[in-house]
Amino acid sequence: MPIKKPNFITLALVLLFFTDILHAATIPLLYRPLPALTSKQLAVIVNDEDPLSIRITNYYQDIRQIPPENIIHIRFDASANALSKKEFAVLKHQVDKQTPNQVQAFVLTWLKPFRVDCMSITTAFAAGFDKAFCAKVCEETRKSPYFSSDSQKPFTDYRWRPTMTLAGRSFEDVKRLIDRGVASDFTRPQGSAYLLKTSDQARSTRAIYFPEVAKVFAGQWPVNYLEQNSLENKTDVMFYFTGLMQVPNIDKNTYLPGAIADHLTSTGGVLTGSNQMNILDWITAGATASYGAVVEPCNYPVKFSHPGILLYYYLRGNSLIEAYWKSVSEPGQGIFVGEPLARPFASPPIKQAH
C-alpha cells in the first residue's frame, strides 16, 4: 500500500461533521429511530449464465420474500475478475430497463466479476460507470451524495441505488451469510464494537477517528478503542474495524448475527487471487458484511468506512446496506459484500389488527 500523508483538511472536516451530528443529539439513539429498507425496495440481479448466482437468487428470494418483479435477469461470462466499460454499459442498460420504480437498492448474487475497469462493481451498479470514481494511486475520487445522509430513498433523492453483493466461496458460505442476516432482524443484540489501531502505520490512518468514536458513544454502545494487532476469544463482536495486510485470529471470535467487520488494506476487495487477506475471510469467520478495495486506493480513510457514522445509522435502525453505504465517503474503489436487509436494530413491523 503506497503511504500517503492523509489530507488532514478532509480528515478534520469528516471528524468535525461526525462529532457535530452526535454531540448535537441529546436524545439516545434508540429514541430517534430510522426505518430500514424493505424487500420491496430491493432488486436482486442474477447472472443466468452462472449456476451459483441462480441458486443464491432462488434461496434469497424465498427467504427474504423478494417480489418476482424485483428479480432482474442478465447474462454474461462470470469467469473474469473484471468487466470492461463496454460490457458493463450493455448490462447496466438491461438492468435499468427491468428495474421497477420502487427499487432503491440492488443486491448482486455472484463472486465474479467484482470490478468494472478501474472501479468496484457495487459502485458501478449503484451510480453507473464514471472515471471520476477511479484514481491513479494517491488521489481522491468522486464522493457519494449518500454519505452520512438521513435519506430513506437514495434513488429518489440522489439517483443512486446502493449495491451489495452476496458473495462467498461456496453456496454453503453464502447461505450461512444470508441466514445470519435474517436471524439478526429486530434482535437488538447486546454486543460491542472493537476499533483497533495496529502497529501497521500505513494501514492505521483511519484510527485518527477511533478515540472520538469511543468517546461520543460512551453510555450508548460499548466501543473499545484498542492499540493492538488483533482480537481473539471475544464472544460479543458486533463491529470490528482494523488495518492490517493480514488480520490474525479472526476465526477465534464469535460474531453476532448482523455483525460488520473490515480492514483497511490495498486489495481486501480482490475476492480471488490476492496476496493479502480478502474480505471473504471475514464472511467465513462469521461477519454479516465487509468492505474492501478492488484496486489500489492508497491509504485514504475517506475511501473506507467511518465506524462512527456506520454505528450512528445502524443503531438507529437502518438496514445493513444503508448504514454501510452511508459510512463511506468515496466508495468508487471498494466493494460491499454482505446481506443487505439485515436490520438488527430496526423496530419490527406493526401488525395490523383484523
Global confidence as pTM: 0.93
Distances (CA, A) of 29 to 32, 273, 346: 5, 41, 12
- Tell me the three cell numbers of residue 6: 492523509
Residue 313 to residue 55: CA distance in whole angstroms? 31
**Which residue stretches of the chain have pLDDT < 50?**
8-9, 12-13, 24-26
Q: Which residues pair with 352 in a beta bridge?
A: none
Residue 72 DSSP class: E
Q: Read off the pLDDT of residues 105-160 as tens digits, 9 standing for 90 and up.
A: 999 999 999 999 999 999 999 999 999 999 887 899 999 999 999 999 999 999 99
Q: What is the pLDDT of residue 136?
A: 81
Q: What is the pLDDT of residue 293?
A: 97
Q: What's the per-residue H, E or C state across 144-165?
A: CCCCCCCCCCHHHHHCCCCEEE
Residue 302 to residue 203: CA distance in whole angstroms? 13
Residue holding cell 449503484? 126
Helix axes 171-184, 51-64, angle to 10 degrees: 20
Q: What is the pLDDT of residue 137?
A: 75
Buried b (16+ CB within 10 A) or exposed e, 28-51: ebeeeebebbebebbbbbbbeebe
Q: What is the pLDDT of residue 8?
A: 45
CA 269 to chain centre: 11
Rg of the chain on CA atoms, in Å:
19
CA 66 to chain centre: 20
Task: Give 125's contacts (C-beta < 8 A, 6+ positions apart).
Answer: 45, 92, 95, 106, 108, 161, 163
Question: What is the residue-wise DSSP string for 49-64?
Answer: T-HHHHHHHHHHHHHH
E strands present in 75-144: 82-83, 105-108, 115-116, 119-120
How is the chain split into domains, by residue range? 8-338
Q: What is the pLDDT of residue 32?
A: 77
With beta carbons less than 8 A apart as the criterion, state whether 283 and 241 touch: no
Q: State how beta strands 42-47 and 71-74 pair.
A: parallel
Q: Which residues pair with 195 in a beta bridge?
A: 225, 241
Residue holding cell 453464502? 174
